[in-house]
Structure 1
């Protein structure tokens, strides 16, 4: 197995100054001045993000729980898995449980953490922790004020077709599809744990 060369010091940019551009209720934007590896200066504009989770809920019959939600920046309805940002001091597992219940009404008896995704590395610190959930029980949704979304189910072949045809373009959902495809083939595996045993 090949690995990335280390060390990477010859690629690192060093911050020499920082200017706050925006402090919103959700996003925090900056413009930094950096020294490049060749000694020249450049600017980097980026957004600090609190982090988020995505949940891939799997029903006992193999169907997947998905959502349709209008995303204002793109001015369109997107197909995606349940997800949401971390509250201050919240663990990613607690956030995953909360978002699954709030958005879909489902709770799960088993969970598996798949890893982490960085969806917009060019201009944001955002990370998304990827959780899989099974042993689902349907209850009542608790959507946030101003949150509107449809919950529906689909098979893995249907989801993969939508990814191939460009109907699904959300990066986190495309990443989940990669995981699901490799799980179905047996190439990858997950470490499932009962809810009470998950180390948050």
Structure 2
């Protein structure tokens, strides 16, 4: 069933760095009126990189996560800078966070974080044919690089220090893509 999008009667913006919050005055197709809020990130988007060391091994990084105040295991991720494509940002972030570049980078798809109230999305970048190269990054301490076998994802997804939804989703997307495309 295809539904008409609600009519936006008014948008009130509030600055809440690093986001812009909008309050929407909406009218739905059945005449109901509601106010919704949504957040827009500042910048040019984000990437989450799945670096494959070989056909069976992904590289994870362990870094401090302020939101949960602990060190988290996850994939390389970061912002897309002005003028960068998602693939270029993925290669740069991989070099900054993990100390590797990639000869093959593929933008598989875009993931949303919480589409009900945020416009934030991240491009899932598959990085293969890795080589060692480090660029200076913005991390306050060196990140630990942890190789993980793809056939042990069932163990990784149950670890308490591996909880970020984008990393979980990206690993399963890449696993299925590799299964189909090699």
1:30 aligned residue (21, 24, 42): 21
The within-5 A match list for 1:109-128 is 109-128=103-122
Q: What is the CA RMSD across the aligned residues, in angstroms? A: 2.3
Residue 73 of structure 1 aligns to a residue whose secondary structure is coil
Are 1:107 and 2:101 matched, yes or no? yes
Partner of 2:174: 180
1:40 aligned residue (30, 33, 39): 33
Q: What TM-score comes out, normalization by structure 1 length?
A: 0.78
Q: Which whole-Å CA distance do the structure 2 matches of 1:165 and 1:67 have between them?
A: 14
Instruction: Tell me: CA distance 1:68–1:145, structure 2 relative to 1, closer, same or farther (3 Å).
Output: closer
How far 1:168 moved relative to its partner?
2.3
Question: 1:34, 1:44 within 8 Å by CA — same for their partners in 2?
Answer: no
Residue 74 of structure 1 aligns to a residue whose secondary structure is coil
Count of residues paired in the alignment: 179
Q: Which whole-Å CA distance do the structure 2 matches of 1:145 and 1:182 have between them?
A: 31
Q: Which whole-Å CA distance do the structure 1 matches of 2:98 and 2:80 have between them?
A: 17
Q: Which whole-Å CA distance do the structure 1 matches of 2:96 and 2:9 have between them?
A: 40
Are 1:73 and 2:64 matched, yes or no? no
More strand by share: 2
How far 1:129 moved relative to its partner?
0.5
Q: What TM-score comes out, normalization by structure 2 length?
A: 0.85
How far 1:159 moved relative to its partner?
3.0
